[in-house]
Amino acid sequence: MPLDIRIEARPPFHYSISERVECVSTGGTVEFRIDRRSGVATYWQIVQQAKQALRLGLLRPGDKLPTAREVVEATAINPNTVLKAYRELEREGLVEARRGLGTFVRASLGAAGDSRYRADLEDWVARAHEDGLGREDITALFDSVLDGHFPQETP
């Protein structure tokens, strides 16, 4: 699938002024934020943040992920945790490890249908709200439907 259709003149996102400082610390294209109190496994936080970066277009096919060394230097987490996260991303076909070169993004995560689903969801939430459902009711309902559809997703 020839997904990589970006125009090369576009500078990589990390050249924008506001991001420059962050990128010095990881030398790469994304910076991972580890929340030690969230209770979410650290490797899973990395997986989720990489996916988020793919969805937002911060990472695109061909981009190189920071090396495990760069990530642990910046975040002070265990190197095996980073490797585990990268293996998971690789298993899902999102990145590939090239021996001696690093880990590279292979695929982007589709934001294609997003706007249509978002409109549907906006509509649905508005109706639920009108009928008296609060934020927590809606979250609980949404979670239970998600759990029904994706029973194996473990955080």
Partner 1 sequence: MTDAVAALEAAGVGMSCSRRRGAVVEDCSFRLPQGRICALVGPNGAGKTTLLRLAAGLLRPARGTLSVLGRTPAAARGRVAYVAQSKPLHPHLSVADTLRFGAELNRDTGRWDQPAAERIAYGDETLDPFTKIRALSGGQRTRVALALALGKRAELMLLDEPMGDLDPLARRQLTGALMAAAESGTTIVMSSHVITELESSCDFLLLVAGGRLRLAGALEEVVSAHTLLTGTSALDTSRQTVIEQRSVGRGRTALVRADGAPVGEWLAERPTVEEVVLAHLRNTQAPPLLAEEAAPESARRAPHARSQENAA
Residues that bind partner 1 (CB under 8 A): 34, 36, 39, 42, 68-69, 72-81
Of 57 and 79, CB closest to partner 1: 79
Q: What single-letter amino acid sits at 96?
A: E
Q: What is the nearest approach in angstroms of partner 1 to the Cβ of residue 116? A: 38
Sequence-distant (6+) residues with CB within 8 A of 88 are 43, 47
Q: What is the nearest approach in angstroms of partner 1 to the Cβ of residue 114? A: 32
Alpha helix (H) residue ranges in 98-134: 114-130
Of 62 and 79, CB closest to partner 1: 79
Q: Are 102 and 108 in contact (CB under 8 A)?
A: no
* Beta partners for residue 102, in sequence order: 98
Q: What is the nearest approach in angstroms of partner 1 to the Cβ of residue 123? A: 38
66: helix, strand or coil: coil
Of 54 and 77, CB closest to partner 1: 77
